[in-house]
Structure formats: structure tokens, C-alpha cells
Amino acid sequence: MEKMLRGLLSVFLIGMCLTPGVAFADDAEVAALKAQIEAMNRKIEAMDSKMMTMEKPAPGAQTTYIPPTPDPKGGFLRTAMEDIHMGGYVETQYQNKVGEPQQNGNVGRSLTDKAADTFSMNAAKLWFEKAANPEGGAGFRIDMMMGSDVRYYFNNFQKDNLGNSNNGSSGNSPFAFEQAYVQYIAPLGFWANNNVLPHSVDIKAGRMVTLAGNEVIEGPNNWNISRSVSFGYAIPFTHTGVRATYKLFNDYLTVYNGINNGWDNDIDNNSYKTLENAFSFSPIKDVTWTTATYFGPENNAASGGKRYLATNVLAWNASKKLSFAGEFDIGNQPRVDIAMDDNFHTAQWFDYAAYARYQITEKLATAYRFELFDDSQRYRNWTGVGTAGAATDLANTLTLEYKLYENMIARAEYRIDYAHAGDGNVFGGNHQQNTLGGQLSYLF
């Protein structure tokens, strides 16, 4: 499609130049027409990039900067609107249990599991972005989301700006801002000829998705329908603060440094901030290694007992059809009173996950995920005194994907969960539970 559009544009331009009786008013109009064609080509490339939904974006990734089309007669408003790009997706799903137990409720250990035998509208997302000029400039991005997934990821907004409860938990709200930040790219001209130090720094301030983990909030950007147990319990989802991104060693190493309100906190719940650090690089061709760490207090109204998290993700595109990914996370939280008996302990959790995806045909693909999540103190997924939170989770997930149309994806999934708890079994008296799901996603 892209080649066809470019060919038609080229033929049109050549025909206009060679047809007798056709003349341009001046060279300026010719230059403007060429600029419009080049801008359209760049937009086509950006659309192609957006349609590759099965590839996980790099941490903090954004759309490619596309300069506005020169239009001396368009005015400021038209130029501004052309410079703002938008997109999104709609995702709906059906999920049910296979075999025992048959009681209604959460069908698995994954945070986004639905009730048994139900249809659900997972998410309707809309984003707007004006990407900053990479040579220096300002921009912004807003990601808005509605649907049943919102209550899993955005459970803050529980306090006003003074720290008082406002009974406004978004756990009961179908709408949330996944991201909303302003962007400023500052050129560092004094290092322009240096191959080690950065040539610019990308600064974002506001609410941003986390750098931790392999999976993301946006369903179409993952390889499976369901999220891993580790995605729900081992790592944060969003951060509100400031993040700086820059490249070192001739763009070989990408570095992220930030300071924020902590894990999923729109308003800080204590008097100290959380530090964010990450780096990403490709040690060999088609292999990417990303490490992210978070350190800071996360307990309500308590600045002691600072939580530490380290996540490591290795991605490998083995061929044009076959891709792999691996993840290892480890977290540590001092001074936790899990049983609410004034006995404080240090809780630690870790997880392993392995992913594989194979593009069978142009439209058909399959993906597999294995995961192991260990939360022996039942700190991250514990639900209250006397309730059996899982100490260990193990899951196998197989997903089949078919691209019905260029912008519509259909998926089917079979998942097997094993969970063991400290004081009982998780799945209604059973250690194991099987689930079956189907999903449709439309991207625009």
C-alpha cells in the first residue's frame, strides 16, 4: 500500500511537470508541493509503524516526530492541528473457565481476569500527541482510557492536593488518564562533536507509564490476551513526576533518570520521592537489554522502609518471523506488618517470565508465555487477614492471533494457572484453574 501511494504521488508530480499547458506560478509553489509530498510519505511511514502492534515499544517510546507541512496560507491554527497526531484502539473480550471450580468471580491470578462466562469491554483508548522536534522543541502527549481495565491500573486519585481523602478512588471510575505529560527536548550544542556525551536531553513532566517490565497496559502491544501475574503484582504501572532521557556513546546506550511520587500515586502518600533509573542497549544485532530500578518509600504516611525494585528484560528478534523475550524482576520491601499484629518483616518477591512468538503467515501468529511469581510472604497479592493470598504462582499461556483486516486483530487464548497459598488453596479449594478467552481489537 505504501509503495502504491508513493508511486501514484510521483507519477502525479511528473505528469504535472510534463503536461503541455500546465505551468506553476513560481518556484515557491513547486517547492511547497514537493514538501507536501515528502510530508505525506513520512505520515505513511508513521502509519506503517503504528500498525505493527505485536512489537513491544521501548521504554517511554513515543511516535516519530513528523514536521508540519509548510503552508504559508494555512495560518497558525491549521498548522497547529496538522502538527498534532492521534490514534487509539477499542478492545472487547469474552472469557470463561474450563472445568472446576465453577464458582463465579476472578477466574485466575492475572490482575485483568474477568468474571467467569462474561463479555467485557476492556478498553477504549484515545491518544493525542505533538512530538517535540528531536533537534530541540516542545510537545505533549495525552492518553485517555475507558473500560473495565481502568480499575485495575488506575486506583489512585484517592486524595486531594492537601492529602485528605476525597472518596474519589478511580477504582469505581470507568475513565482515567493513562498518561498526560509535557515534553521538552533541550539540544546540547556544546557536545555536538562528542561521540560519548549526549547531544540532547528529552525531559518529560507529568504522568507517564512505568519503565519496568516487559508487558504494557495497552493490550494490542502485548503478545497475549491476559497479562502475567508478575505484571499485576510485581511492578508499578504509572508514575507522576519528571523523567530525563538521553543517549551516550554515539547513541549506543539510552539512559533514563527520573524522580516521581512513587508507584501509581498521582498525589504522593508520604514526604519523600521515588528515584527512577534505567538503561537500554543492544549488545548484538536484533538483541535489546533493558534494566530499570526504582527506590523510595511507598507506604502511606511513612517515609521509612524504602522499597527497591529491579527489572531486567531481554528481547531477541531471532528472525523476521520468530521473536523471544525474557524478564526477571526482584523487589524488596522492609518493615511490613503483613498479619497486622505489630510484627514487622522484610518482604521480598521475584518473578521469571519467558515469551516466544512466531509469525506463521502474514496474518496468522502464535505466542507462548511461561511465568513463575514467588511472593512467599504474600505481601504483594495478599487480600486481608484470614484470606489465602498466593505464595507461588505458575502459569502457561498459549495465544493464537489472526489479523482479520489491516486494523482489526482477533485472538484466542488458553491459560493454565497453578497457585499455592500459605493457608489454603486459591481457586475455590483447588491449586489449578484453566481459562479460555477470545478478544477483538480495532486500532486507529
Residue 9 has pLDDT above 50, yes or no: no
Query: What's the average model confidence in pLDDT over 260-288?
Result: 92
Q: Is residue 41 part of a domain?
A: no
Cβ-proximal residues to 282 (8 Å cutoff; 6+ apart), any chain: 252, 288, 289
Q: Is residue 60 part of a domain?
A: no
Range of 159-173, 174-188, 294-308 with top mean pLDDT: 174-188
Q: Do residues 444 and 418 touch, judged by C-beta distance below 8 A?
A: no
pLDDT score for 24: 40
Residue 82 has pLDDT above 50, yes or no: yes
284: phi then psi, degrees, rounded to nearest 5 = -140, 170
Cα separations in angstroms, 116 against 105, 173, 390: 6, 22, 20
Q: Is residue 72 part of a domain?
A: no
Residue 145 has pLDDT above 60, yes or no: yes
Residue in this structure with the C-alpha cell 489472526, named with its chain if needed: 402
How many degrees, rounded to 5, is the angle at CA 37 between CA 32 and CA 41? 145
| Average of per-residue pLDDT values in the chain | 80
Q: Is residue 74 part of a domain?
A: no
Scanning 214-321, the segments in alpha helix (DSSP H) are: 229-233
Q: Is residue 77 part of a domain?
A: no
Residue 7 has pLDDT above 90, yes or no: no
242: confidence class by pLDDT, cuts 50, 70, 90? very high
How many domains does the chain contain in total?
1
Q: Is residue 53 part of a domain?
A: no
pLDDT, tens digit, for every residue of 380-408?
A: 876 443 445 678 889 999 999 999 999 99
Residue 25 CA to residue 16 CA, distance in Å, equals: 13
SS (H, E, C) 332-361: EEEEECCCCCCCCEEEEEEEEEEEEEEECC
Q: Is residue 75 part of a domain?
A: no
pLDDT, tens digit, for every residue of 169-226?
A: 344 567 889 999 999 999 998 888 888 999 999 999 999 999 999 999 999 999 999 9
Q: Is residue 369 part of a domain?
A: yes
Range of 74-83, 157-166, 297-306, 316-325 with top mean pLDDT: 316-325
pLDDT score for 265: 86
* CATH of residue 349: 2.40.160.10
pLDDT score for 389: 62
Residue 301 belongs to what domain range?
Answer: 85-443
